[in-house]
Amino acid sequence: MKKYFGGILALVLTIAFAFASIASAGDAANGEKLFNNKKKKCKTCHKITEKKKIGPGLKDVGKRHTDEWFKKWLANPQKTWEENDAETAEFKKWPERYGKKSRAGKKKTKMKLSKKYPLTEAEIGDLIAYLKTL
Ligand code: HEC
């Protein structure tokens, strides 16, 4: 009996860790729903192709940013804009991708999220998982 116990324990732990990592990685399918939800407004300003709308086209955006940056940005774009860490400073040049002038000197970001329907931490996790599939 003792012999099996170790095996069962290992199995239970493996399953528990698998679930924990799924939970913390965010649900990309739900992220897509949120992205397309009119109340959350992402789609009002972003295309998921390379094409610019009000904000940059989000194709390959997962390759441009760290998870930490995504979290900060989606939680508070204006605060992140003002903090201006190295990643944000680089990102402000984005209009150059479309042959336009960098936004580096601007005091305010144009990314204004809905105040009425703010993003929860779980929603931010799901959105990040989705953004990384683009
Ligand atoms: C009112 C327009 C607007 C809305 C709404 C909006 N964004 Fe943005 N977004 C922008 C702009 C503009 C930028 C670039 C920053 C700037 O120039 O001020 C940006 C930048 C980004 C970036 C970085 C893109 C890159 O190329 O590095 C991500 C990711 C992003 N937005 C995701 C989202 C998500 C997810 C939502 C919905 C929850 C959202 N945005 C809603 C306008 C918007």
- What CATH number is attached to the domain comprising 127? 1.10.760.10
What pTM value is reported for the model?
Answer: 0.85
d(CA 98, CA 100): 6
Atom of ligand 1 at shortest range from CA of 41: 5
75 within some domain: yes
Domain range for 102: 28-131
What single-letter amino acid sits at 119? L
DSSP state of 100: S
19 within some domain: no
Residue nearest to atom 15 of ligand 1 (CA): 109
Count of the separate structural domains present in the chain: 1
Segment 5-39, tens digit of pLDDT: 666 556 555 555 555 554 557 899 999 999 999 98
48 within some domain: yes
106 within some domain: yes
Residue 80's CB: how many other CB atoms inside 10 A?
20
Residue nearest to atom 42 of ligand 1 (CA): 111
